Chains A and B, each alone.
Chain A
Amino acid sequence: MTRFIELLRRELRLALRQGSDSMMVVGFFVLAVILFPFGIGPEPGILARVAPGLVWVNALLAAMLSLDRLYQGDYEDGSLELLILTPAPLEVLVAAKVTAHWLTTGLPLMAASPLLAVFLNLDATDLGVLLLTLAVGTPTLSLIGSVGAALVLGARRGGVLISLLVLPLFIPILIFAVGAVDAASHGFPWTGQLAILGAILLGAVPLGLYASAAALKHAAE
């Protein structure tokens, strides 16, 4: 546990000092969502109808942006080998990386969403549900993304390859997250979809940690 905290502190410190990455992700997210009212017209009814999908698709794409750097820096400067050789399971390192990734991308994306809800004419209850789906769904994005990032280590053009590997796996999250907000906006119960998102997250925790660790060990050989 102390190793987890130590690794998390290092990741956050690196993220804070290298700055920009997390701001760029949020900037991309906000700009990309704002493009849609220009593209499909400012009709409030249409925007409110497509808003949950827009926010979620762009959140997925924004989360992808920072994934290829997740392990790449440590891989290139030799830190990864040393991290593998520390007397702790590699899963602890992965857990710290994923937590740091979520804190520097998932959380800022959530923070930016209320602003976008205003642009897209999403009402307050729907925004509440949207934020809940983001809270449960974005950690899963970081976990699945971590597996992709570990798998493409050492490959050329890894960033594109990660998208191809990981985006299809994000589809179930997209379906149930948008489904929950849609249901809420039509006055139907939406807790079922949220529970499924929660279940996906719980399943992704052990799978994501284990698979990332295995991929990292392979990359270091």
Chain B
Amino acid sequence: MSLFAAENLTCVRGGRAVFARLSFSLEPGTALFLLGPNGSGKSSLLRMLAGLLRPISGRLTWAGQPISDDPEAHGARLHYVGHHDAVKPVLTVAETLHFWARLHGGDSESRVQQAMDRFAIKRLADVPGRLLSAGQKRRVNLARLIAAPAPLWLLDEPSVALDKASVKALEAAMAQHRAEGGLVIVSTHAEIDLPEATILRLDEFAAPSQVAA
């Protein structure tokens, strides 16, 4: 049985059907690549998978259990990286990472250190968020993935603002996560190396226009 599965998802935004009858299922250690032109619903799908957005029809299951049964348990098993980096101007990098790690129920100093090492932000540990560049903020956001373990990673355009070395670091982090049995779902327009990932083209699920909302 698959670990994380979607059946017949339909998404409606602002009265317009974005995609319809979308299904997939993922085994532990696999990855899903979301491709599609602007507006094809990649971000909406990721928000739906996170539980932020309710599908108008269809269902999502984790190990056979619908995620809507226990949204908090679903929150515990995922990390979501969206368009905004959630970095507070007055909190330092280390404070930000410790905060998110503790809220996720595991704050071990070694994991936070490991996360800062992975994305090369250790020397920024005491720098407040307002002094960070866009790429550095993104790296802090990505470091949350390592600072507290969670099996499901939902990454919406994670490589935006990243330099080449950081993209490599992200690829390495994703590879290690999958080797440990984790799941990665990524949407991107850029080149990200994700070996043996299943590709999901959202334009193939585009809803026929003017479906009733």
Where the two chains meet, the residues of A that have a C-beta atom closer than 8 Å to any C-beta of B are 2-3, 6-7, 10, 13-14, 17-18, 73, 76-79, 81-89, 220-221
20 contacts between A and B (CB under 8 A): A6-B103, A14-B91, A17-B90, A77-B88, A78-B84, A79-B84, A81-B52, A82-B86, A83-B103, A84-B75, A85-B80, A86-B104, A87-B73, A87-B75, A87-B76, A87-B105, A88-B72, A220-B52, A221-B52, A221-B54
A3-B103, A6-B99, A77-B84 given. 10 additional CB < 8 A pairs?
A13-B95, A77-B86, A77-B87, A77-B88, A78-B83, A79-B84, A81-B50, A85-B50, A85-B78, A220-B52
User: Which residues from chain A contact B76 at a C-beta distance below 8 Å?
Assistant: 86-87
Say yes or no: A81 contacts B80, CB within 8 Å.
yes
Q: What residue of chain B has the Cβ atom nearest to residue A6's Cβ?
A: B102
Say yes or no: B85 contacts A85, CB within 8 Å.
no
A21 shortest CB reach to chain B, Å: 12
3 closest residue pairs by CB, A with B: A78-B84, A87-B76, A17-B90
User: Which residues from chain A contact B105 at a C-beta distance below 8 Å?
Assistant: 87
User: Which residues from chain B contact A2 at a C-beta distance below 8 Å?
Assistant: 102
With beta carbons under 8 angstroms apart, the residue of B73, B85, B91, B103 that contacts A78 is B85
A8 shortest CB reach to chain B, Å: 12
Identify whether the interface residues of A are mostly helix, strand, loop, or mixed. Answer: helix
With beta carbons under 8 angstroms apart, the residue of A14, A79, A87 that contacts B104 is A87
Say yes or no: A89 contacts B86, CB within 8 Å.
no
User: Which residues from chain A contact B53 at a C-beta distance below 8 Å?
Assistant: 221
Say yes or no: A86 contacts B86, CB within 8 Å.
no
**CA A82 to CA B99, docked complex, whole Å:** 12
**CA A79 to CA B91, docked complex, whole Å:** 13
Q: What residue of chain A has the Cβ atom nearest to residue B80's Cβ?
A: A85
**CA A178 to CA B12, docked complex, whole Å:** 50
User: Which residues from chain A contact B72 at a C-beta distance below 8 Å?
Assistant: 87-89
Q: Mark B91-120, 1 if CB is under 8 A from A, else 0.
A: 100010001101111000000000000000
Say yes or no: A86 contacts B75, CB within 8 Å.
yes
User: Which residues from chain B contact A89 at a C-beta distance below 8 Å?
Assistant: 72
A213 shortest CB reach to chain B, Å: 12
Does B135 sit within 8 A of A, measured CB to CB? no
Does B58 sit within 8 A of A, measured CB to CB? no
**CA A107 to CA B193, docked complex, whole Å:** 54
Q: What residue of chain A has the Cβ atom nearest to residue B129's Cβ?
A: A77
Does B151 sit within 8 A of A, measured CB to CB? no
**CA A53 to CA B11, docked complex, whole Å:** 52
User: Which residues from chain B contact A3 at a C-beta distance below 8 Å?
Assistant: 102-103
**Most-contacted residue by chain A among B53, B75, B95 (CB, 10 A):** B75
Say yes or no: A82 contacts B100, CB within 8 Å.
yes
**CA A17 to CA B96, docked complex, whole Å:** 14
**CA A83 to CA B72, docked complex, whole Å:** 11
With beta carbons under 8 angstroms apart, the residue of A7, A14, A81, A220 that contacts B103 is A7
Q: What residue of chain B has the Cβ atom nearest to residue A18's Cβ?
A: B90
Say yes or no: A13 contacts B80, CB within 8 Å.
no
Q: What residue of chain B has the Cβ atom nearest to residue A19's Cβ?
A: B90
Does B28 sit within 8 A of A, measured CB to CB? no
With beta carbons under 8 angstroms apart, the residue of B54, B75, B91, B95 that contacts A85 is B75
Q: What residue of chain B has the Cβ atom nearest to residue A221's Cβ?
A: B53
Say yes or no: B88 contacts A79, CB within 8 Å.
yes
B89 shortest CB reach to chain A, Å: 8
Say yes or no: B90 contacts A81, CB within 8 Å.
no
B15 shortest CB reach to chain A, Å: 14
**CA A89 to CA B82, docked complex, whole Å:** 21
